[in-house]
Amino acid sequence: MRVVIDTNIVFSAILNTNSKIAQIILQPKTRLNFYSTERLLFEINEHRDKILKLTDYSEQELNRMISLITNKIRFININLIAKEVYNKAEDLTSDVDIDDCEFVALTEHIKGKLWSGDKRLIKGLLNKRWNKFIETENLYKLILKR
């Protein structure tokens, strides 16, 4: 299964490495293929100080956690996404959260599912009849079945 991971999911995994979210991402043998865009890395770096305060990680420990998690994700250049697909994602997210446009566009591009914990985004897109989401619980059940 192709799963696009948005930033709040990776934040959750970094903040709690024992969580279901971290277990799903770090599962060694899985049929889940994780994807994201460079925006995820940008947003992690943008919030480094906040993450450091919340976790009490050293810089080195934080770098190790980020690397451990992001190494499980294939990063796709947004320039590979067709303009019409990207424009559709812009239309969907413009009045919900434009910062998530790339994740929605990538989900469309790879014909996958979007894994997000952003309730506002989920509600806003569901109201527009876009329902290509997958929940943490469903992913967790999938990795337990292996």
pLDDT at position 13 is 96
Q: Tell whether pTM > 0.85.
A: yes
115 vs 94: CA distance, rounded Å: 19
Report the percent of the chain where pLDDT is more than 70. 99
Per-residue pLDDT of 133-144, as tens digits, reads 999 999 999 887
102-116 average pLDDT score: 97
Q: Where are the domains of the chain?
A: 2-145
pLDDT at position 143 is 86
The CATH class that applies to domain 2-145 reads alpha beta
pLDDT at position 146 is 60
34 vs 73: CA distance, rounded Å: 5
Question: Are the beta carbons of 1 and 69 closer than 8 angstroms?
Answer: no
For residue 84, the SS3 value is helix
Residue 22 pLDDT greater than 90, yes or no: yes
Q: Which two tokens stand for residue 74?
A: 């294939």
10 vs 54: CA distance, rounded Å: 14
91-119 average pLDDT score: 96
6-22 average pLDDT score: 94
52 vs 77: CA distance, rounded Å: 28
